[in-house]
Every structure is written in structure tokens, then in C-alpha cells.
Amino acid sequence: MSKESIDEHFHQVLSQLRGIINTIDELFENPVFINNIEGEQELSLDRSLELFEALAEQFEPAAEPVPFEPRLLDESFDAD
């Protein structure tokens, strides 16, 4: 599999996970939904949301490392 193909699959999975997360968030904000589920169901759904958020983090693209450039604290510093 090519690098671009793998990246596209990661992007697709991340997009689907974000869709699930957004749907669950919308359900939590819906008073009709919240008023018609039991406490254990709400707790389970909240735990599921945490799981999907953790999974989504794994599919986030890695941040590019910041190149390290050594520099003097003071330009008048002389090692001699």
C-alpha cells in the first residue's frame, strides 16, 4: 500500500470517528433523548464517547517535529 493510500485511509477513519463523536454530542444536547434514557445508559454512552475520542486521537496526523537550531544566549559571549 502506498503512503498516500494509507494516509487516505487514516483520514477516512478519523472522519468517521469525528462523525460518531458529533452525533453523540448532539444526542447529549437533545432534551428529548436525555429525558428518555436511564442513568446507566447515559453513563455507558458517555464512556463510549470517551472511547471514540481516544480512538480519534490515535488517527490524528503526527505533528511535524520542530527543527532544533542551537543559538547563543548572548551574542557577546566568547568561549575563549
Domain boundaries, the chain: 11-59
Handedness of CA 13, 21, 39, 37 (dihedral sign): negative
Distance of CA 39 to the CA centre of its chain: 27
pLDDT digits (tens, 9 = 90+) for 17-61: 999 999 999 999 999 999 999 999 999 999 999 999 999 999 888
Task: Count CB atoms within 10 A of the CB of residue 39.
Answer: 7
Residue ranges of the alpha helices (H) in the chain?
Answer: 3-29, 31-35, 39-59
pTM over 0.75: no
Q: Which of 9, 22, 52 is nearest to 44 (CA)?
A: 52
